[in-house]
């Protein structure tokens, strides 16, 4: 059985994910998905991230929390923001970081993913940050690593992107004070978005009043309502009384067939403009996990405008990923910075 076949057989339902992610004390060992984790666990991630948010302002942008630990970034898919912020987060925790170039590694020569992991464990790796095109890859690896090793999911197929969801929750909390009681609209390519799935789980767990998804029918999964979101087919009704707008990237690389008539028509119906912002609350905040396709998902006036917190999301990605790494390695980061 190939690695892809083994991964495809992996179950990552919420109860199973919770048992796999938490140790006997109920603390994070792995961070694979927001699904199945309690509000207390998600809030702890944000609280610890808050304690790290000032590190970037220091003259020496480091804390010694993970000195002597080795973190391996295993990115089987391309990435800029996620990989860079994970790299910076690990280095600011004083860990040793290895960025494995998959294109030139033994994996490109046919080595199985488990053999790659076993060899890196033999080099005394303490944590793997995994990005993979197959849904369930991070869960599969987490089930097979040594007891002392932690796994963080940096995005797997269409399944989950939990650190992106948590940096979004952290940003919402910074701007709005709390996630609880807010109405949030997620707009765009929900069908292919692992980010949207993780966001919906986190928002509902943290007490959002309502989560809406707004998209053409061809870009909606069949189980959207089961995920815990209300479906809308147009911006005018979907954005009414909304506190937070989260735009999604059109993932052309994952699409099969003609799911959209044209990018121009998509922008006319679902692209965010200053005029369409008026459908939402006056103090609405606008988010996007990036990269942005300007003129397709939103226009420049919105992306760079006063409602946008997109660059704040990028900055917060470092603190949130520091928090997840610290918690998975069994540290109380807030109490050990000194």
Mean pLDDT by 10 residues, the chain (338 residues): 61 74 94 97 98 87 94 90 95 95 61 89 96 93 95 95 98 98 96 95 98 94 86 96 96 52 86 97 97 94 98 97 96 41
Distance, CA of 301 to CA of 215 (rounded, Å): 21
Strands lying side by side in the sheet with 70-75: 96-100, 70-75, 127-132, 150-156
- At residue 224, the pLDDT reads 77
- At residue 229, the pLDDT reads 96
- At residue 264, the pLDDT reads 85
Backbone φ, ψ for residue 255 (5° rounding)? -80, 145
Domain ranges in the chain are: 3-160+315-336, 162-310
Nearest to 107, CA basis, from 84, 134, 87: 134
Q: What angle do CA 61, 85, 320 make, to 5 degrees?
A: 80
DSSP 253: G
- At residue 262, the pLDDT reads 78
The 3-state DSSP class for residue 129 equals: strand
Distance, CA of 135 to CA of 287 (rounded, Å): 25
- At residue 337, the pLDDT reads 42
- At residue 105, the pLDDT reads 61
Nearest to 123, CA basis, from 74, 78, 83: 74
**CB atoms near residue 336 (< 10 Å):** 12
Instruction: Tell me whether domains 3-160+315-336 and 162-310 share a fold.
Output: yes
| pTM flag (> 0.95) | no
Contact 319, 57 (CB under 8 A): no
Rg (CA), the chain: 20
Topology of domain 162-310, per CATH?
Rossmann fold (3.40.50)
Topology of domain 3-160+315-336, per CATH?
Rossmann fold (3.40.50)
């Amino acid at each position: 059985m190939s690695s892809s076949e083994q991964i495809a057989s992996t179950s990552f339902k919420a109860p199973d994910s919770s048992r796999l992610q938490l140790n006997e004390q109920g603390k994070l060992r792995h961070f694979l998905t927001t699904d199945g984790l309690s509000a207390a666990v998600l809030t702890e991630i944000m609280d610890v991230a808050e304690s790290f948010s000032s590190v970037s302002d220091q003259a020496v942008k480091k804390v010694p929390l993970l000195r002597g630990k080795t973190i391996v970034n295993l990115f089987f898919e391309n990435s800029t923001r996620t990989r860079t912020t994970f790299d910076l987060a690990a280095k600011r925790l004083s860990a040793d970081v290895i960025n494995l170039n998959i294109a030139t590694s033994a994996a490109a020569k046919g080595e199985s993913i488990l053999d790659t992991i076993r060899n890196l464990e033999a080099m005394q790796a303490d944590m793997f940050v995994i990005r993979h095109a197959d849904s369930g890859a991070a869960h599969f690896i987490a089930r097979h690593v040594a007891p002392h090793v932690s796994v963080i999911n940096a995005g797997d197929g269409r399944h989950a992107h939990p650190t992106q969801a948590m940096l979004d929750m952290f940003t919402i909390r910074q701007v709005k004070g709390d996630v609880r009681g807010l109405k949030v609209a997620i707009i765009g390519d929900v069908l292919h978005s692992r980010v949207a799935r993780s966001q919906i789980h986190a928002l509902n767990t943290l007490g959002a009043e309502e989560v809406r998804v707004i998209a053409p029918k061809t870009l909606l999964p069949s189980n959207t309502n089961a995920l815990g979101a209300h479906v809308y087919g147009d911006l005018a009704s979907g954005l009414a009384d909304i506190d937070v707008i989260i735009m999604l990237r059109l993932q052309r690389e994952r699409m099969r067939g003609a799911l959209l008539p044209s990018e121009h028509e998509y922008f006319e119906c679902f692209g965010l403009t200053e005029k369409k912002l008026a459908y939402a609350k006056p103090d609405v905040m606008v988010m996007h996990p990036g990269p942005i396709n300007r003129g397709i998902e939103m226009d420049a006036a919105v992306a760079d405008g006063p409602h946008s917190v997109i660059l704040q999301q990028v900055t917060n990605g470092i603190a949130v990923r520091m928090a997840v790494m610290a918690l998975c390695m069994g540290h109380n980061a807030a109490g050990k910075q000194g």
